[in-house]
């Protein structure tokens, strides 16, 4: 069981996922600041001064639905995804491509060649 866990943990996909999660967590404050202090004020200016973080509905007395915060979260998610995409794309271009081994002939073809060679020798 330990050997299986070791193989799983050191497999390339598991390591890539771990790196993605760690980098994503590290980017969260950067992206949050970018969205809250740069992008959303520009969008608010374009939309006649609307501050998205304060947008809300009060359908029932005492209950407030803050959909503006949800819009901010969507923008943060999209920016995080774009940043990670470009980061991983850059890392992948730096990696050297692994040479693929040339595929050999199928086993059935090898058997047929052996039979042919045996028949030629028998003549």
Backbone region of residue 32 per phi and psi (left: phi > 0; alpha: psi in -120 to 50; beta: other values)? alpha
Q: Are 40 and 50 a contacting pair, CB within 8 Å? A: no
* Phi (first) and psi of residue 94, to 5 degrees: -80, -25
- What architecture is the 2-122 domain classified under in CATH? Orthogonal Bundle (1.10)
Q: Which of 4-13, 54-63, 82-91, 108-117 bottoms out in mean pLDDT, i.e. has the lowest? A: 4-13
Kind and range of the H or E run holding 65: strand 63-65
What are the boundaries of each domain within the chain?
2-122
Backbone region of residue 105 per phi and psi (left: phi > 0; alpha: psi in -120 to 50; beta: other values)? beta
Give mean pLDDT, residues 52-67: 81
* Phi (first) and psi of residue 82, to 5 degrees: -65, -45
Copy the structure tokens of residue 2.
């330990």
**DSSP conformation class of 97:** P
Distance from C-alpha of 57 to C-alpha of 35, rounded to nearest angstrom: 22
Band of the pLDDT at 5, cuts 50, 70, 90? confident
Please report the pLDDT score of residue 9 as a whole number: 66
Handedness of CA 46, 51, 52, 57 (dihedral sign): negative
Copy the structure tokens of residue 97.
């491509």
């Amino acid at each position: 069981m330990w050997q299986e866990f070791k193989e799983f943990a050191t497999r390339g996909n598991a390591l890539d996922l771990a790196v993605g999660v760690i980098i994503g967590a590290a980017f969260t404050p950067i992206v949050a600041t970018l969205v809250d202090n740069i992008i959303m004020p520009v969008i608010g200016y374009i939309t006649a001064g609307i501050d998205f973080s304060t947008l809300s509905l009060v359908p029932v007395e005492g209950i407030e639905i803050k959909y503006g915060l949800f819009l901010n979260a969507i923008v943060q998610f999209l920016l995080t995804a774009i940043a990670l995409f470009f980061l991983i794309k850059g890392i992948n271009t730096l990696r050297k491509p692994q040479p693929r081994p040339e595929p050999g002939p199928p086993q059935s073809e090898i058997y047929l060649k052996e039979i042919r060679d045996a028949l030629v020798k028998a003549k």
